[in-house]
């Protein structure tokens, strides 16, 4: 740790392990980066900073650099603190310039610092690192050490290969968005260090190679991420904070999991019916975010069955010993759909408990139930083979989107090497291979739509989500599509069938979404599979009351006695009554086994641009006042810390110690060699220093109101922020208004307006790797950086956004922000800021996605850092962040009737609790191409294509991305058309009903800001739109690509919605075509971030009077940004409808009343994406072009 920064310098950072992981992944680097200077250099002086009392102010003395004037009747900065009274007083505020650094005699030193540098022991396995970073950990084994970048020491553990992706098939060359494109392999830029032994992935935007041979285990290297509090665990203990609850069983025991004999009847999972237990789960209890506690300590002992081979359990997870009187009933739930891994079948286990069958009828021990026995549906025909390739066979062209074949299997999905899994005899064959999920047909509405004839494709009540064809009991407990959804709701059995469909396979997830009902479990034991670490969920099987079968890897696991306790009724009963079995979304309060140190406190650091341009926008008043209003609502507890740092061409630090009478400001003008001017009190406890924080926020706007500095040292400010916060982690909020040109990370303008006419858009990637390097350091130390861009001119968001993209932050963009000239945008900024300050937040988070054997995830999209092939590092997680993953089918799913996906998010709440939020989704498997098309989710496909297109635009070119989107339409139409008779294809453009909107949405996406051509698109606007494609949840992304258009003059003609005892009139949705705009009508265009209230020139005077409070159309003022509150039914209905739309989104929207003859008219009509533009075809022309491509 650098000298002068709070905390004992030689304090050993606690040994904290990787938060999530099945397989070993390299440890994090300690954050030491060459080029960051030590903060104390002998021979420098420091001076106490305080203002002249009673002086009217003036700029502080400087060397030819303009400084903010300090003119204020009441001086803001009081006398110096007694703690630093040794510093000589000055007559006014002075700068800390080069040559004026604090000498060691004036800085409160800590033991272990000599000569301006801390005494640090050499690294155990590598050279000593220079520069800033966390203190070196001592007393650790070589495996536990956290090395720096590659070259400091060789990696330990199994190597992770970076093999190339096999090339796609041969055929005509054309642009595509491929799931295994060689060009998507991450390319390391020169000199850019890769953390975690050089085996971490740089970009979450590119295809990643899966590593064969790595197996799930619980002994991963520890992470260096820690707080200042020593770990409560012994360093030698290797626990995985998300994956590990206990030490895994020895290899021999895991290789032979407890298996029931063939004669035993297998119980299905399900909701408890009204009669016998062990049945099927129902909907979650009607409670709002219930918290279920553990059972009482005096729990009755329910003895278990005699066990076979003993299992190695620890930490209270093993089954209780003793006999049992348990007598299960017949299996009355849904069908058991899971399949055991292939391998030799072990013989019947000795002394295995066998539950009796139903008392009535002949017993059929040793055989699976016959058709209709115990309510079982008939089995599938034996010897069934998928249909062979017929007339619908397509040779996969080297285009979009072949699945990633040939990739090695995913790490965590398989058992230990050499382990022998359960054989074919149990859970396979007639008993397990059930057709059509309980007799229900998987076929959705498979009507064929001729796109050349169908004009009204959007239903009046909006685009519907596809219905997943599962058993009703599964439907009740399946994950909400707003949280987790797949591009295909019927999964192909084989990769060849997926290729034949020419549709992309992937999932979109909104893991931290705000939920009105979320069951919360507080238990000493979290039940998980001992092989693949899956959390118990509604889709597992209960073999009996003591065992359950994993729905991902099919291992049979012991069930802890505590799981039989029902936290709702406070009684002991069936495990199916547990909330974990009755809800696909659940949150656990993690026990102590899931943390090796106390959770980090909530730390908030605000970096505010105070350059001349920033002051001119007036944002500082709005920001300070909003933060002041919401100070008590910020997610916090008694440990929460807060700090502020302002910057222009210098850095302004603020001492907010609670004992001071006024805040103190310290100016550091050496931005090329950043250091912290005082060791403590730059970050203070929010509760203890709330009065000082309020005082600072009240006076900040006037403090810098006369600043004339135009430069911006954003890079230096971020380096200083990292030094302030890296010991604990937290959130850094940056407000930037200009292009940073001063100090580290300085940029130059790369936008040439004359080049907007060209189709080959350049400079979509970063100009420097400075912000990416710093983001990787921040990610390793659990620091996330959020950006608020308020620039009126080009600010190179493509470069600056890397600091948020790779640290798990978020980006907000307010182009041409000005408090006076753009009041609607100012109102949106205030609304978004309030939401940002008060929304839920998770710190030091990690997320892992698991899926059924045979499936693998190979590419991720969003703002995070990929720590391993399936582990996402998220220093912060917020409720507005969305993610996407591309998938491939590695092994045949012929023996499966369903597959499952599970997302586990481990995070620290703002209250200091370690929590795990788990989402599980179940989907059917099919071998019919028609069922794949019928279950396709066209909105999810567009969401995934948008993410892939944003990557392709950067790695290849914008025209290449657009061509790949076009080819996605051609491929899907060609593949579906090949399944139809030739007579049905002649003179038409047929497509499945479930995909009828796909060409229209692709056409709209080509006109979206991220991908359109033309002279009106600024580079920063385009880059931010690409960021939205990567991180927006799917429902908001689709609304941005294809906005909603409502005829307000028809409000209430169709239906009325009741909400909170208030009736809200509804209206239909229209296609985005100017042909639907009538001069006599009034229309509302909702594009998520923007709303336009369009008034036709022939609108009636009565409407103008009732809604706009003007006598007629010509009296509507220019620049009207809200609707007046008038007491008449028409006004109340219109405002209720608009407010209803605004309430259904997390952030605010700009609102403009647009007259037909106003200058905003063209802005409104640019959203009519079905019309022809300067560089794009109309929707009908697009369809004709597709028809020609399909025929060719």
Q: What is the pLDDT of residues 782-814, one digit of tens each?
A: 999 999 999 999 999 999 999 999 999 999 999
Q: Which residue has the tokens 């397509």?
A: 394
The yes-or-no verdict on residue 139 having pLDDT over 60 is no
Give the three-class secondary structure for 1150. strand
Binned at pLDDT 50, 70 and 90, residue 177 comes out as low
The yes-or-no verdict on residue 137 having pLDDT over 80 is no
What is residue 461's predicted lDDT score, i.e. its pLDDT? Answer: 80
What number does CATH give the domain 1043-1168?
3.40.20.10
The yes-or-no verdict on residue 1104 having pLDDT over 90 is yes
Identify the residue with better confidence: 574 or 1143.
1143
What is the pTM assigned to this prediction? 0.70
Average pLDDT, the chain: 73
Residue 36: closest CA among 807, 722, 645, 799: 722
The yes-or-no verdict on residue 107 having pLDDT over 80 is no
Binned at pLDDT 50, 70 and 90, residue 658 comes out as confident
CB within 8 A of 272, min separation 6: which ones?
278, 279, 280, 281, 282, 573, 574, 576, 577
Alpha carbon distance 964, 158 (integer Å): 37
Alpha carbon separation from 422 to 308, 333, 416, 767 (Å, rounded): 15, 24, 13, 54
The yes-or-no verdict on residue 711 having pLDDT over 90 is yes
Note the pLDDT tens digit of each residue in 550-596.
Answer: 999 999 999 998 888 887 777 787 888 889 999 999 999 998 887 87
What is residue 7's predicted lDDT score, i.e. its pLDDT? Answer: 38
What average pLDDT does range 848-872 have in this prediction?
91
Choice among 27-31, 828-832, 866-870 with the minimum mean pLDDT: 27-31
In Å, the largest CA–CA distance within the chain is: 102
What is residue 515's predicted lDDT score, i.e. its pLDDT? Answer: 93
Residue 164: closest CA among 219, 207, 199: 207
Task: Name the CATH architecture for the domain at 603-840.
Answer: 3-Layer(aba) Sandwich (3.40)
Note the pLDDT tens digit of each residue in 994-1011.
Answer: 999 999 999 999 999 999
CB atoms within 10 A of CB 1192: 7
Residue 752: closest CA among 742, 738, 762: 762
Residue 633: closest CA among 830, 877, 837, 831: 837
Task: Name the CATH architecture for the domain at 447-469+937-1040+1186-1191.
Answer: Up-down Bundle (1.20)
Give the three-class secondary structure for 501. helix
The yes-or-no verdict on residue 103 having pLDDT over 90 is no
Give the three-class secondary structure for 1084. strand
What is residue 757's predicted lDDT score, i.e. its pLDDT? Answer: 63
The yes-or-no verdict on residue 490 having pLDDT over 50 is yes
Binned at pLDDT 50, 70 and 90, residue 326 comes out as very low
Give the three-class secondary structure for 904. strand
DSSP letter for each residue of 393-456: --PPPSSS----TTPPPPGGGS--TT-----SSSS-TTTT--THHHH--------EEETTT---
Binned at pLDDT 50, 70 and 90, residue 1129 comes out as very high
What is residue 756's predicted lDDT score, i.e. its pLDDT? Answer: 67
Q: Where are the domains of the chain?
A: 447-469+937-1040+1186-1191, 603-840, 1043-1168
Instruction: With beta carbons less than 8 A apart as the criterion, state whether 384 and 493 touch.
Output: no
Note the pLDDT tens digit of each residue in 694-709.
Answer: 999 999 999 999 999 9
The yes-or-no verdict on residue 340 having pLDDT over 70 is no
Write out 140-207 in H/E/C secondary structure: CCCCCCCCCCCCCCCCCCCCCCCCCCCCCCCCCCCCCCCCCCHHHCCCCCCCCCCCCCCCCCCCCCCE
Note the pLDDT tens digit of each residue in 411-430.
Answer: 333 333 333 333 333 233 33
What is residue 692's predicted lDDT score, i.e. its pLDDT? Answer: 95
What is residue 206's predicted lDDT score, i.e. its pLDDT? Answer: 34
The yes-or-no verdict on residue 909 having pLDDT over 70 is yes
Angle 868-509-952 from CA coordinates, rounded to 5°: 70
Residue 462: closest CA among 1050, 1043, 1058: 1043
What is residue 615's predicted lDDT score, i.e. its pLDDT? Answer: 96
Give the DSSP letter of residue 866.
E
Identify the residue with better confidence: 50 or 848.
848
For the record, the structure tokens of 115 come out as 């000569």
For the record, the structure tokens of 421 come out as 């899994």
Note the pLDDT tens digit of each residue in 271-309.
Answer: 333 333 333 333 444 444 566 665 554 444 444 443 433
Note the pLDDT tens digit of each residue in 659-698.
Answer: 888 999 999 999 999 999 998 899 999 999 999 999 999 9
Binned at pLDDT 50, 70 and 90, residue 733 comes out as very high
What average pLDDT does range 1144-1154 have in this prediction?
95
């Amino acid at each position: 740790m650098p000298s002068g920064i709070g905390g004992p310098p030689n304090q050993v950072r606690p040994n904290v392990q990787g938060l999530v992981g099945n397989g070993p992944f390299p440890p994090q680097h300690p954050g030491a980066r060459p080029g960051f200077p030590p903060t104390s250099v002998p021979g420098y002086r420091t001076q106490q900073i305080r203002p002249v009392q009673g002086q009217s102010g003036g700029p502080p003395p400087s060397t030819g650099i303009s400084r903010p004037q300090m003119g204020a009747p009441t001086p803001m900065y009081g006398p110096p603190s007694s703690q630093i009274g040794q510093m000589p007083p000055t007559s006014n505020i002075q700068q800390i310039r080069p040559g004026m650094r604090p000498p060691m005699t004036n800085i409160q030193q800590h033991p272990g610092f000599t000569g301006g540098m801390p005494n640090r022991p050499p690294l155990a396995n590598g050279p000593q690192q220079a520069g800033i970073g966390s203190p070196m950990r001592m007393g650790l084994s070589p495996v536990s050490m956290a090395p720096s970048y590659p070259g400091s020491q060789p990696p330990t553990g199994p190597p992770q290969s970076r093999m190339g992706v096999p090339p796609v098939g041969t055929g005509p060359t054309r642009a595509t968005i491929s799931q295994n494109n060689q060009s998507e392999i991450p390319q390391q830029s020169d000199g850019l260090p890769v953390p975690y032994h050089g085996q971490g992935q740089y970009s979450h935007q590119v295809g990643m190679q899966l590593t064969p041979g790595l197996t799930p285990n619980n002994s991963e290297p520890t992470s260096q991420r820690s707080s200042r509090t020593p770990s409560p665990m012994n360093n030698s203990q290797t626990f995985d904070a998300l994956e590990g609850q206990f030490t895994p069983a020895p290899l021999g025991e895991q290789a032979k999991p407890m298996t029931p004999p063939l004669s035993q009847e297998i119980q299905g999972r399900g909701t408890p019916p009204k009669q016998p237990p062990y049945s099927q789960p129902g909907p979650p209890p009607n409670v709002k975010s219930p918290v279920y506690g553990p059972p009482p300590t005096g729990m009755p002992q329910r003895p278990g069955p005699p066990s076979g081979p003993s299992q190695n359990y620890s930490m209270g997870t093993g089954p209780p010993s003793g006999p049992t009187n348990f007598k299960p009933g017949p299996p009355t739930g849904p069908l058991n759909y899971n399949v055991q891994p292939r391998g030799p079948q072990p013989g019947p286990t000795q002394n295995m408990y066998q539950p009796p069958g139903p008392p009535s009828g002949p017993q059929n021990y040793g055989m699976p139930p016959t058709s209709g026995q115990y309510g079982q549906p008939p089995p599938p025909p034996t010897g069934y083979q998928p249909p062979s390739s017929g007339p619908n066979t397509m040779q996969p062209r080297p285009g979009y989107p072949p699945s990633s074949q040939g990739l090695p299997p995913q790490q965590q999905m398989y058992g230990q090497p050499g382990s022998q899994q359960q054989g074919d005899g149990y859970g396979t064959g007639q008993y397990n291979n059930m057709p059509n999920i309980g007799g229900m047909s998987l076929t959705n509405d498979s009507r064929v739509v001729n796109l050349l004839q169908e004009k009204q494709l959007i239903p009046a009540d909006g685009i519907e989500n596809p219905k997943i064809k599962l058993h009703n009991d599964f439907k009740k407990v399946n994950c909400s599509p707003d949280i987790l959804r797949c591009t295909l709701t019927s999964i192909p059995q084989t990769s060849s069938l997926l290729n034949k469909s020419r549709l992309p396979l992937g999932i979109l997830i909104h893991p931290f979404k705000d939920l009105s009902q979320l069951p919360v479990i507080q238990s000493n034991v979290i039940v998980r599979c001992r092989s693949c670490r899956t959390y118990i969920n509604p889709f597992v099987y209960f073999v009996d009351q003591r065992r359950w079968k994993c729905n991902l890897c099919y291992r049979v696991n012991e069930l802890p006695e505590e799981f039989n306790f029902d936290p709702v009724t406070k009684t002991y009963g069936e495990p199916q009554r547990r909330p974990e079995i009755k809800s696909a979304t659940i949150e656990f309060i993690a026990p102590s086994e899931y943390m090796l140190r106390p959770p980090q406190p909530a730390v908030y650091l605000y970096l505010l641009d105070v350059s001349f341009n920033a002051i001119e926008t007036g944002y500082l008043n709005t920001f300070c006042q909003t933060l002041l209003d919401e100070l008590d609502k910020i997610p916090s507890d008694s440990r929460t810390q807060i700090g502020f740092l302002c910057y222009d061409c210098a850095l302004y630090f603020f001492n907010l110690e609670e004992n001071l009478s006024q805040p103190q400001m310290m100016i550091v003008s050496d931005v090329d060699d950043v250091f912290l001017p005082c060791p403590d009190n730059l970050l203070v406890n929010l509760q203890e220093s709330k009065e000082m924080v309020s005082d600072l926020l009240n006076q900040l706007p006037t403090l810098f109101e006369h600043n004339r500095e135009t430069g911006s040292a954003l890079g230096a400010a971020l380096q200083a922020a990292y030094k302030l916060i890296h010991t604990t982690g937290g959130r850094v909020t940056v407000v930037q208004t200009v292009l940073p040109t001063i100090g580290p990370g300085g940029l130059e303008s790369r936008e040439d307006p004359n080049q907007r006419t060209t189709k080959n858009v350049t400079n979509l990637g970063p100009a420097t790797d400075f912000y990416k390097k710093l983001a990787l350091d921040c990610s390793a130390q659990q620091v996330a950086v959020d950006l608020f861009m308020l620039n009126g001119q080009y600010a190179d968001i493509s470069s600056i956004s890397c600091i948020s993209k790779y640290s798990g932050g978020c980006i907000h963009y307010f182009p041409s922000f000005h408090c006076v000239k753009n009041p609607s945008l100012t109102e949106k900024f205030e609304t978004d800021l309030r939401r940002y300050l008060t929304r839920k937040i998770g710190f030091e988070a990690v997320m892992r996605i698991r899926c059924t054997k045979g499936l693998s995830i190979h590419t991720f999209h969003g703002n995070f850092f990929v720590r391993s092939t399936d582990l996402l590092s998220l220093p912060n997680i917020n409720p507005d962040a969305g993610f996407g993953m591309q998938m491939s089918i590695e092994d045949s799913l012929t023996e499966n009737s369903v597959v499952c996906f599970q997302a586990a998010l481990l995070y620290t709440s703002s209250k200091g609790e370690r929590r795990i939020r788990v989402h599980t989704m179940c989907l059917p498997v099919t071998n019919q191409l028609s069922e794949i098309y019928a279950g396709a989710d066209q909105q999810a496909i567009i969401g995934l294509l948008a993410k892939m297109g944003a990557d392709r635009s950067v790695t290849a070119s914008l025209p290449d991305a657009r061509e790949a989107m076009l080819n996605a339409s051609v491929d899907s139409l060609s593949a579906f058309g090949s399944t139809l008779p030739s007579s049905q294809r002649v003179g038409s453009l047929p497509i499945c009903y479930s995909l009828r909107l796909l060409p229209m949405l692709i056409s709209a996406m080509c006109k979206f800001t991220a991908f359109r051509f033309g002279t009106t698109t600024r580079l920063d606007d385009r880059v931010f739109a690409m960021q939205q494609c990567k991180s927006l949840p799917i429902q908001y992304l689709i609304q941005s690509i294809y906005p909603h258009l409502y005829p307000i003059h028809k409000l209430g003609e169709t239906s009325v919605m009741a909400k909170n005892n208030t009736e809200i009139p509804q209206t239909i949705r229209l296609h985005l075509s100017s042909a639907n705009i009538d001069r006599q009508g009034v229309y509302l265009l909702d594009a998520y971030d923007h709303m336009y209230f369009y008034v036709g020139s022939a609108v009636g005077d009565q409407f103008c009077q009732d809604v706009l409070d003007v006598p007629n159309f010509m009296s509507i003022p220019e620049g009207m940004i809200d609707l007046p509150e008038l007491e008449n039914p028409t006004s109340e209905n219109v405002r209720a409808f608009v407010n209803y739309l605004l309430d259904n989104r997390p952030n605010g929207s700009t609102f403009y009343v647009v007259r037909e003859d106003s200058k905003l008219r063209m802005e409104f009509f640019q959203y009519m994406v079905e019309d022809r533009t300067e560089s794009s075809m109309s929707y009908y022309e697009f369809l004709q072009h597709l028809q020609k491509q399909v025929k060719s």
